[in-house]
C-alpha cells in the first residue's frame, strides 16, 4: 500500500502547525506574544477538499493542522475504510490544500449503497453531510461503560489543559480518545466534528484499537458524532454539554453510552436499550 507519507509530511500540511506555533517562552504569562493572542482572539479557518477515487467527496472548513488525520478519520467515519488497509493511497495537493484518496472500490460501493440523505447538519457553520435514518439503525449490545464521574472529570481537566488554542482564544473545539485512564489522542479544530475525525484518524494511522475506547468532546453530541462513534465501535461519548435527541436514539440502538454534563456534579447518563 502506498500512502505517500513522505509527500504528505513534506507538503507542509502536517507540519503547518509546528511551524506556526509560538515557543513556550513567547506564550508565557505577561509576554507580548501572549497578550497579542489574547487581544486578537481569532481562530484559523480554511477550506480543505477531499476527492475519493476521482470524485469530489467533501470540503471541510477547518483548522489547518493534523490534516492527514482529518482526512483519514473522515473516511473511517463515513464508512469508506475500516482500517488503514482499505486506504490504498492518500496524496496531498499543497497549492490549494486538499487530498486525493484512493480506497478499495468495494468500500465505495458499500457507502453508495446505503442511500443516505444529504442534510444540513448541526455542526459549526453550514455542514453538509449524509445521514442514514437513525430509526433504521440496527440494534447492538452495550459496548462498555464510562469511568466513574470523578475520573471522567479528571480526564476533561486534562483535555482542557492540553488545549493551547482554547487557552489562547476560547473559540475552538477539542476532542480526545481515552482508555479511561489517560488521553490517547487529542485534537483541536474550529469544528467539533473535525476534531473527532482528527483523533479517530490518528488512531487509524497508528493502527491502534478503537473498539471499546471512550470519546471526549467539548461541544454537544449531535447525530453525526454519534454515527462516527458507532462506526468506530466506541463504548461511550462524554461532553460537558448535552446530546441531541437523535444522538440519543442512535447511541441507544448501537450500544453506546452518552454522558452529558460530564463535568458537573450530576452527569446525565443515557444508556443503550436493554
Q: Is 8 exposed, middle or buried (0-12, 13-18, 19+ CB in 10 A)?
A: buried
Give all strands (DSSP E) within 203-255, no chain letters.
214-217, 236-238
Query: What does the longest C-alpha to C-alpha distance in the chain come to?
Result: 56
The Cα–Cα gap between 237 and 259 comes to: 6
Q: Where are the beta strands (DSSP E) in 142-217?
A: 173-178, 183-189, 214-217
Q: Strand 98-103 and strand 236-238: pairing?
A: unpaired
Give the 3-state secondary structure of residue 83.
Answer: coil
Q: Give the residue ranges of DSSP H helices in the chain.
A: 5-10, 16-20, 32-40, 67-77, 105-112, 149-162, 164-169, 192-205, 223-232, 245-254
Q: Tell me the C-alpha distance between 81 and 103, whole Å.
A: 7
What is the torsional sign of CA 182, 170, 74, 145?
positive
Active-site annotation holder among 70, 71, 87, 124: 124
Asked if 93 is an active-site residue, the reply is: no
Alpha-carbon Rg of the chain, whole angstroms?
18
Catalytic residues: 124
Amino acid at each position: 500500500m502506498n500512502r505517500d507519507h513522505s509527500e504528505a509530511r513534506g507538503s507542509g500540511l502536517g507540519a503547518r502547525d509546528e511551524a506556526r506555533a509560538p515557543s513556550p517562552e513567547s506564550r508565557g504569562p505577561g509576554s507580548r506574544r501572549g497578550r497579542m493572542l489574547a487581544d486578537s482572539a481569532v481562530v484559523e479557518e480554511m477550506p480543505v477538499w477531499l476527492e475519493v477515487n476521482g470524485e469530489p467527496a467533501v470540503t471541510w472548513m477547518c483548522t489547518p493542522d493534523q490534516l492527514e488525520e482529518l482526512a483519514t478519520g473522515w473516511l473511517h467515519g463515513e464508512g469508506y475504510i475500516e482500517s488503514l488497509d482499505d486506504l490504498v493511497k492518500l496524496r496531498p495537493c499543497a497549492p490549494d490544500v486538499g487530498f486525493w484518496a484512493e480506497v478499495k472500490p468495494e468500500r465505495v460501493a458499500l457507502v453508495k449503497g446505503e442511500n443516505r440523505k444529504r442534510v444540513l447538519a448541526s455542526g459549526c457553520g453550514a455542514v453538509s453531510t449524509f445521514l442514514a435514518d437513525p430509526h433504521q439503525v440496527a440494534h447492538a449490545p452495550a459496548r462498555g461503560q464510562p469511568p466513574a464521574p470523578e475520573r471522567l472529570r479528571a480526564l476533561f481537566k486534562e483535555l482542557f489543559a492540553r488545549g493551547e488554542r482554547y487557552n489562547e482564544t476560547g473559540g475552538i473545539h477539542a476532542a480526545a480518545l481515552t482508555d479511561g485512564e489517560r488521553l490517547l489522542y487529542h485534537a483541536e479544530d474550529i469544528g467539533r466534528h473535525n476534531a473527532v475525525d482528527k483523533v479517530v484518524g490518528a488512531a487509524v494511522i497508528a493502527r491502534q484499537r478503537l473498539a471499546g475506547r471512550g470519546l471526549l468532546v467539548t461541544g454537544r453530541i449531535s447525530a453525526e458524532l454519534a454515527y462516527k462513534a458507532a462506526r468506530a465501535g466506541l463504548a461511550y461519548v462524554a461532553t460537558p454539554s448535552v446530546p441531541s435527541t437523535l444522538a440519543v436514539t442512535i447511541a441507544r440502538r448501537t450500544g453506546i453510552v452518552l454522558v452529558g454534563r460530564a463535568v458537573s456534579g450530576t452527569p446525565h447518563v443515557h444508556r443503550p436499550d436493554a
